[in-house]
């Protein structure tokens, strides 16, 4: 099923670009950013061919490459600096950062060091401090929010890193912050005067999963949406409501016993006997939550389990996932390519990544012209369009089968 037919009637407002686009990437995510730049270039070249586009000849509107010449330099002491090789004055700059990328090593005094999220964040601050007062506007695209899981202050004796990070970005002049499917959207309360957009990944992940596994039938008799705990049920509700599927969840029950920190997880919902399961979460770390949930569902008679999470970190390695896959605990893990994935992960049979490059290119294009992005970042209408197309396909297939039966 092609995604191009979904929301094909969406007509963006033609407005003047805020300024020529310039894209800056961290060294560690340059391959992904090159793909975004190429997508944006092709997108604008096609638009420039239309006579109604009066901005096609504006300086910097159509370019082969939107990536700025820049360099992040590291010294053996561990310190660093950022330098930019061309003028950013008058440009609408988009800084794309992957704070979880761990594919870059640097040589320090005492040996090799893998770039950490803290290092990536400091590099981002270096970039923003260099651009401040020069670029016409600075936008940051941070798919996975740095320290985004610390969305509330549990104790005044602990750091509140996410709020501090957002406030620093605002002070350094960031006009728009784009984050994908954050752990908790309430982090935006820390900077009420900064524009924060939160695009959803659900549509692209769903369409990718359905294109890979055509056997999935999205109706209440065949497929069930499940949340692994009550804290993430809002995400599962989004899938269930827009795909018109039943919803179930696991909830924490505190027993007072020492095992599992005094709690057990009990199932609340419909029978899973013979049902395909869409197991919804915001991220996969070690995989323990996913394994615990999938094993309980399998024991209750579930058919195939498809785990869907925008971000998969695999902090304990891939061996346990390989083992559980061979045991039939899950069918597939569907995630996105918004964060770095090593080649060994991409080669796994059970791994499936939704390509978010066109989506990110479209968001940059829209923000550059100050276009309304509400329908663009919200997956609701696109998921519903996708489901309506599936229903049409099912009806067409059923009609063809009935005709064949009548002929016979």
Q: Tell me, what's the pLDDT at 378?
A: 79
pLDDT tens digits for range 221-234: 999 999 998 888 88
Q: Where are the domains of the chain?
A: 3-200+358-377, 202-355
Strand 105-108 to 111-114 pairing: antiparallel
- Sorted by sequence, the CB contacts under 8 Å of residue 21 that are 6+ apart come out as 40, 60, 63, 66, 91, 92, 94, 364, 368
Using CA atoms, how far apart are residues 202 and 183, in angstroms rounded to an integer? 14
Q: What percent of the chain has pLDDT over 90?
A: 51
Per-position DSSP letters for 40-86, written without gaps between them: HHHHHHHHHTSTT-TTTTSTTSS-S--B--EEEEE-TTS-EEEEESS
Domain 202-355: give its CATH architecture.
3-Layer(aba) Sandwich (3.40)
| Residue that wins the pLDDT comparison between 296 and 47 | 296
- Mean pLDDT, residues 266-286: 92
- Whether 364 and 33 have beta carbons less than 8 Å apart is answered as no
Using CA atoms, how far apart are residues 293 and 226, in angstroms rounded to an integer? 9
- Sign, CA dihedral 385-391-396-397, equals positive
Using CA atoms, how far apart are residues 392 and 400, in angstroms rounded to an integer? 12
Using CA atoms, how far apart are residues 231 and 247, in angstroms rounded to an integer? 14
Task: Indicate whether 403 pLDDT > 50.
Answer: no
- Whether 333 and 284 have beta carbons less than 8 Å apart is answered as yes
- Whether 67 and 95 have beta carbons less than 8 Å apart is answered as no
**Multiple choice CATH, 3-200+358-377, 1.10.3470.10, 1.20.120.1730, 3.40.50.2300, 3.40.50.2020:** 3.40.50.2020
- Sorted by sequence, the CB contacts under 8 Å of residue 267 that are 6+ apart come out as 248, 249, 250, 296, 297, 300
**Same CATH topology for 3-200+358-377 and 202-355?**
yes
pLDDT tens digits for range 108-147: 877 888 888 898 999 999 999 999 889 999 999 999 999 8
Alpha-carbon radius of gyration of the chain: 23
- Tokens standing for 192? 């009420």
Instruction: Tell me the pTM.
Output: 0.87
Local confidence band at 391 (pLDDT 50, 70, 90 cut-offs) = low
């Amino acid at each position: 099923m092609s995604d191009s037919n979904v929301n094909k009637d969406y007509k963006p407002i033609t407005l003047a670009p805020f300024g020529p686009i310039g894209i800056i990437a961290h060294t560690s995510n340059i391959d992904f950013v090159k793909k975004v730049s190429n997508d944006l270039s092709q997108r604008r070249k096609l638009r420039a061919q239309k006579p109604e586009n009066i901005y096609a000849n504006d300086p910097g509107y159509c370019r082969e490459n939107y990536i700025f010449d820049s360099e992040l330099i590291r010294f053996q002491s561990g310190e660093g600096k950022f330098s930019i090789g061309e003028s950013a004055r008058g440009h609408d700059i988009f800084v794309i950062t992957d704070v979880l990328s761990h594919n870059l090593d640097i040589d320090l005094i005492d040996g090799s060091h893998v770039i950490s999220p803290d290092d990536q964040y400091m590099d981002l601050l270096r970039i923003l401090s260099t651009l401040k007062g020069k670029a016409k506007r600075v936008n940051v695209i941070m798919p996975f929010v740095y320290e985004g899981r610390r969305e509330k202050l549990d104790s005044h004796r602990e750091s509140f890193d996410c709020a501090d990070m957002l406030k620093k970005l605002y002070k350094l002049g960031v006009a728009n912050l784009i984050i994908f499917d954050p752990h908790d959207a309430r982090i935006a309360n820390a900077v009420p005067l900064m524009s924060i957009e939160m695009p959803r990944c659900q549509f692209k992940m769903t369409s990718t999963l359905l294109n890979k596994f055509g056997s999935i039938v999205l109706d209440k008799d065949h497929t069930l949406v499940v949340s692994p705990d009550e804290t993430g049920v809002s995400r599962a509700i989004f899938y269930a409501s827009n795909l018109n599927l039943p919803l179930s969840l696991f909830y924490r029950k505190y027993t007072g016993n020492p095992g599992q920190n005094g709690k057990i997880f009990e199932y609340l919902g419909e029978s899973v006997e013979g049902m395909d399961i869409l197991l919804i979460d915001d991220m996969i770390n070690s995989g323990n939550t996913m394994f615990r949930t999938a094993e309980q569902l399998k024991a209750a008679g579930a058919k195939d389990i498809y785990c869907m999470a925008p971000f998969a970190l695999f902090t304990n390695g891939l061996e346990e996932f390989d083992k559980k896959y061979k045991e039939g605990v899950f069918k597939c893990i569907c995630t996105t390519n918004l964060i770095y994935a090593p080649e060994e992960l991409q080669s796994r049979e059970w791994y499936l990544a939704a390509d978010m490059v066109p989506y990110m290119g479209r968001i940059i294009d829209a923000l550059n012209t100050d276009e309304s992005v509400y329908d663009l970042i919200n997956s609701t209408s696109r998921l519903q369009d996708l489901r309506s197309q599936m229903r049409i396909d099912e009806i067409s297939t059923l009609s063809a089968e009935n005709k064949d039966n009548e002929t016979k």
